[in-house]
Amino acid sequence: MLLPLELRRLTYEANGKRVIDSLDLKLEKPGITVIMGPNGAGKSVLLRLIHGLIAPTSGEILWAGQPLDRELALRQAMVFQKPVLLRRSAAANIWHALGLRGIDRSERAIRVDGALRLAGLEGQAAMPARVLSGGEQQRLCLARALSLEPDVLFLDEPTASVDPASTLAIERLLIEAQHGGIKIIVVTHDVGQARRLAQDVVFLHHGRIIEYGLAKRFFAEPQSEAARCFLAGGLVL
């Protein structure tokens, strides 16, 4: 298992600005962790730092005490806000991702089938992935990520521009995946979605963690002014 995830004095600076400001965090429990906060809080940057897509300016990211290396990175997967699919069929996209992991052909065929069924896209296996609707594309991206059988799954505003039916399908997949033992870290600004999914919540503002705790408590009794304002739908400056 890759947990606990520890962030120690994590800092990221860009263009002279401190986007992530000396963060300390320890995620020990499995399940779905939601990272919330107003726009510009640094949520997407934080996700990318943890996943290893960008390098921190200083600080440490440790998985069960180990820094991120290639082997650990291959046990993670990420779904982005805008679905990124190659110019080939839906099935071929999943096939390609599995190929990158070196999964052998017979196993690949099984997983591609499974992934398409999970996404509810068996009928569209041969369609060019990029002509699918936004919701279908995102379901495909999630199914692709899950087909890699990751230990940790990151999602950056996965349903921001997705229709409600697909949003529901995606949330169901995430809850199922979590039951399967995958650690899920989701960035969302949708409070309703956070309430539906979160086991624990990280509330980020100006690159700092303002609050971290169990979801039930966070939503019932937010400790900080910023969180209270945010949950009430106000603008947090």
Partner 1 sequence: MTELTEAFQTALRLIATLDPKLLGIVLLSLKVSLTAVAIASLIGFALGGALAVYRFPGRGALAAIVNALMGLPPVVAGLFVYLLLSNTGPLGVLQLLYTPTAMIIAQVVIVTPIVGALTRQACEDLLEEYDEQLRSLGASSTAIILTLLWDGRYRLITAVLAGFGRAIAEVGAVMIVGGNIDHVTRTMTTAIALETSKGNIALALALGIVLLVIAFAVNALLMSVRRFALRFAYA
**Alpha-carbon gap, residue 36 to 142, rounded angstroms:** 20
Whether residue 4 is preceded by a cis peptide bond, meaning omega within 30 degrees of 0, is yes
Residue whose CB is less far from partner 1, 78 or 118? 78
Computed from CA positions of residues 61, 66, 71, 72, in that sequence, does the dihedral angle turn out positive or negative?
Answer: negative
Neighbour-count burial for 176-189, b at 16+ CB within 10 Å, e otherwise = ebbeeebbbbbbbb
| The one segment of 27-35, 96-104, 170-178, 199-207 that binds partner 1 by CB under 8 A | 96-104
51 sits near partner 1 (criterion: CB under 8 A): yes
**Alpha-carbon gap, residue 17 to 74, rounded angstroms:** 31
Residue 209 near residue 26, CB atoms below 8 Å: no
| The one segment of 104-112, 126-134, 171-179, 213-221 that binds partner 1 by CB under 8 A | 126-134
Q: How far is the CB of 79 from partner 1 (least distance, A)?
A: 9
With a CB cutoff of 8 Å and minimum separation 6, the contacts of 221 are: none
Residue whose CB is less far from partner 1, 57 or 89? 89
Counting residues that bind partner 1 (by CB under 8 A) gives 22
Q: Which of residues 181-220 bind partner 1 (CB under 8 A)?
A: none
Q: How far is the CB of 118 from partner 1 (least distance, A)?
A: 18
Q: Which of 35, 41, 142, 148 binds partner 1 (CB under 8 A)?
A: 148
88 sits near partner 1 (criterion: CB under 8 A): yes
Residue whose CB is less far from partner 1, 142 or 210? 142
| The one segment of 11-19, 95-103, 202-210, 219-227 that binds partner 1 by CB under 8 A | 95-103
| The one segment of 124-132, 165-173, 175-183, 192-200 that binds partner 1 by CB under 8 A | 124-132
| The one segment of 18-26, 29-37, 60-68, 69-77 that binds partner 1 by CB under 8 A | 69-77
The order of strands in the sheet holding 200-205 is 76-79, 152-156, 183-187, 32-36, 200-205, 208-214
Reading the block at residue 192, the tokens are 């309703």
Four-point Cα dihedral 159, 26, 3, 53, nearest 10: 50
Q: Which of 73, 125, 168, 229 binds partner 1 (CB under 8 A)?
A: 73
Cβ-based burial of 237 (10 A; exposed 0-12, middle 13-18, buried ≥19): exposed
Residues at the site binding partner 1, with contacts judged by CB under 8 A: 48, 51, 53, 70, 73-74, 76-78, 80, 84, 86-88, 96-97, 100-101, 128, 130-131, 148
